[in-house]
């Protein structure tokens, strides 16, 4: 377990991350960049980790041109061969899991277990993509015309631009990249400038495999920049697909820009996720699920539990159990596996946390557990906070918004129809859950009249999605889908083919055209 700056320096060396790094790469070729120089600080201890010089316009153009050139040959490689390369990437990630997981934890602030889990998600999606490389199937349809055959096939779409957020520095990129690669696409990744070193480590791990297989380096590209680079990607007609993860505000901007040029998007945006705890809930299941959902990653997951909608008969008991559970939380260095909760990403996030607390109180929220910024030994970075719990009404203005911090809202309900209406009565629609041992309640929740979210769970929390299912949400969450199931179709273009093997030319719909 990494627990000191010295050990972090060893990890950086193992991953090939330098003290000062350029912000753009075409495969293993790192480009000179002339943008602003930034320093990545760890929210765990406030110490500087390494520097990155952000990409400029010249580096951006070189990356896109290389990706465009690489696409010409990568798309022609048979999909199972592309899958074999992705299999090797998964094996390489296994070798570097401990180092990369620790870097993710240290640079972002999530617990070491969650950092390791994020790398495991990368490994899992590689395994999934390998199998998928032999299953990029189309359908065969019966033609109304004699001696004709109809079918559909799927072709690569081209350059896939991936814009990822700080809270999952590496996994969400892998969700997109592994699937895109087996589909025959090439990728340009813009990570969050808050966590650039984790991305650099990934680029070096992955591109070594492409090099070993003699693949054009432009299949895998990295470009680290500010919002200006993200805007260039959204406006760039050479990228037919942009997959963007982040806030709803950011997603609307990206969606509008890509839509103007009639490109495609996969948008994974904000969540305002609720767990309904019915009168028939097993609280030994419900409480751990609610607590992990609310405080895991210090409340900085898009699937974090923001609201508990609790039946009035259990409200006081649930409240008491939560107070007891929160009293046992250990807050501190995320690299110490004894701790449950690490820091927020930076002091801006801390300020948002404090602002949200004040607004909830001003609206009339009742403080159950007081949230506060922690100071003293072990909290020198200024990014550690004590998770808060409020009793509120669902219609409060702050409750309608996602605050990327560990603030949990408790809401009382009388009937299940009322609870479902409350759950759905927010602009976001990512993840949801119900805790119940009653089959009728669970089935209603999963029915057309139930949850309006892209993810709906029974007797598990709102966070912790597996890669086998398509991940994404509705409404202001964006509507995109990544990862499992048939999400691969978003990375390809569909083509319908009709073959006439007769000696005549019959027309569809019985139309006659004779001369």
How do residues 439-467 score in pLDDT, each as one tens digit?
Answer: 999 999 999 999 999 999 999 999 988 99
182: nearest Cα among 131, 221, 222, 243: 131
Tokens (6 digits) for 79: 């999909």
Contact 396, 365 (CB under 8 A): yes
Closest of 273, 279, 275, 290 to residue 312, by C-alpha: 279
pLDDT in tens, 230-246: 999 999 999 999 999 99
Is the pLDDT at 225 greater than 50? The verdict is yes
Query: Is there a contact between 149 and 232 (Cβ–Cβ < 8 Å)?
Result: no
Domain with CATH 3.40.605.10 in the chain: 5-269+478-494
The residues that are catalytic are 268, 302
Q: Which residues make up the CATH 3.40.309.10 domain(s) of the chain?
A: 273-466
Average pLDDT over residues 70-91: 98
| Whether residue 73 has pLDDT greater than 90 | yes
CATH tag, 5-269+478-494: 3.40.605.10
Handedness of CA 366, 367, 373, 375 (dihedral sign): positive
d(CA 28, CA 38): 21
Backbone angles phi, psi at 75, to 5 degrees: -65, -25
Give dist(CA 389, CA 309) in Å, integer.
13
pLDDT tens digits for range 281-297: 999 999 999 999 999 99
The neighbouring-strand residues paired with 248 are none
pLDDT in tens, 265-278: 999 999 999 999 99
For the sheet containing 20-22, what is the strand order? Answer: 20-22, 48-53, 37-41
* Runs of H (alpha helix) within 213-314: 227-235, 248-260, 283-295
User: How many whole angstroms separate alpha carbon 106 and alpha carbon 333?
Assistant: 9
452 CB-near residues (< 8 Å, 6+ apart): 424, 429, 474, 475
User: What pLDDT score was predicted for residue 134?
Assistant: 97
Beta bridge partners of 341: 331
> Does this model's pTM top 0.85?
yes
pLDDT at 264 over 50: yes
Give the angle subtended at the CA of 255 by the CAs of 249 and 257, to the nearest 5°: 105
Which residue is listed with tokens 């990653």? 297
Q: Is the pLDDT of residue 5 over 70?
A: no
Q: Tokens 């107070």 correspond to what residue?
A: 323
What CATH number does the domain located at 273-466 have? 3.40.309.10
């Amino acid at each position: 377990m990494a627990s000191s700056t010295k050990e972090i320096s060893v990890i950086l060396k193992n991953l090939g991350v330098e003290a000062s790094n350029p912000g753009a790469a075409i495969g293993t070729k790192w480009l000179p960049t002339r943008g602003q120089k930034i320093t990545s600080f760890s929210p765990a201890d406030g110490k500087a980790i390494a520097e990155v010089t952000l990409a400029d316009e010249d580096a951006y153009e070189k990356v896109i041109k290389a990706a465009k050139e690489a696409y010409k040959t990568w798309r022609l490689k048979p999909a199972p061969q592309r899958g074999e390369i992705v299999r090797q990437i998964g094996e390489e990630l296994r070798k570097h899991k401990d180092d990369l997981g620790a870097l993710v934890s240290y640079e972002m602030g999530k617990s070491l277990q969650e950092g390791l889990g994020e790398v495991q998600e990368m490994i899992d999606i590689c395994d999934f993509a390998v199998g998928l490389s032999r299953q990029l199937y189309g359908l065969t349809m019966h033609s109304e015309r004699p001696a004709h055959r109809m079918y559909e096939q799927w072709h690569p779409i081209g350059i896939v631009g991936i814009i990822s957020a700080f809270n999952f520095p590496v996994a969400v990129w892998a969700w997109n990249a592994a699937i895109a690669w087996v589909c025959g696409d090439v990728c340009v990744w813009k990570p969050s400038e808050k966590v650039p070193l984790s991305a650099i480590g990934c680029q070096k791990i992955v591109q070594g495999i492409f090099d070993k297989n003699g693949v054009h380096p432009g299949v895998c590209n990295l470009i680290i920049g500010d919002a200006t680079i993200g805007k260039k990607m959204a406006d760039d007609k050479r990228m037919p697909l942009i997959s963007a993860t982040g806030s709803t505000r950011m997603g609307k901007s990206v969606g509008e820009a890509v839509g103007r040029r009639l490109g495609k998007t996969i948008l994974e945006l904000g969540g305002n996720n609720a767990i309904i705890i019915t009168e028939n809930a097993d609280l030994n299941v419900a409480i751990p699920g609610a607590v992990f959902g609310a405080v895991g990653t210090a409340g900085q997951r898009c699937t974090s539990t923001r609201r508990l909608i609790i039946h009035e008969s259990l409200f006081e008991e649930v409240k008491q159990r939560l107070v007891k559970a929160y009293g046992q939380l250990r807050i501190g260095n995320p690299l110490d596996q004894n701790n449950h909760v690490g820091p927020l990403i930076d002091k801006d996030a801390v300020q948002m946390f404090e602002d949200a607390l004040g607004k909830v109180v001003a609206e009339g929220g009742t403080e159950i557990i007081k949230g506060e910024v922690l100071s003293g030994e072990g909290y020198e970075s200024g990014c550690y906070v004590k998770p808060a719990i409020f009793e509120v009404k669902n219609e409060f203005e702050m409750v309608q918004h996602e605050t990327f911090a560990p603030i949990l809202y408790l809401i009382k309900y009388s009937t299940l129809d009322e609870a479902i209406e409350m759950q759905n009565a927010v602009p976001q629609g990512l993840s949801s859950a119900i805790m119940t041992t009653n089959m009728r309640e669970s089935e209603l929740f999963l029915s057309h009249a139930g949850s309006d979210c892209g993810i709906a769970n029974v007797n598990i929390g709102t966070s912790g999605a597996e890669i086998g299912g398509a991940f994404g949400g509705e409404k202001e969450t964006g509507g995109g889908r990544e990862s499992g199931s048939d999400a691969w179709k978003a990375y390809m273009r569909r083509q319908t083919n009709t073959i006439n093997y007769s000696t005549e030319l019959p027309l569809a719909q019985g139309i006659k055209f004779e001369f």
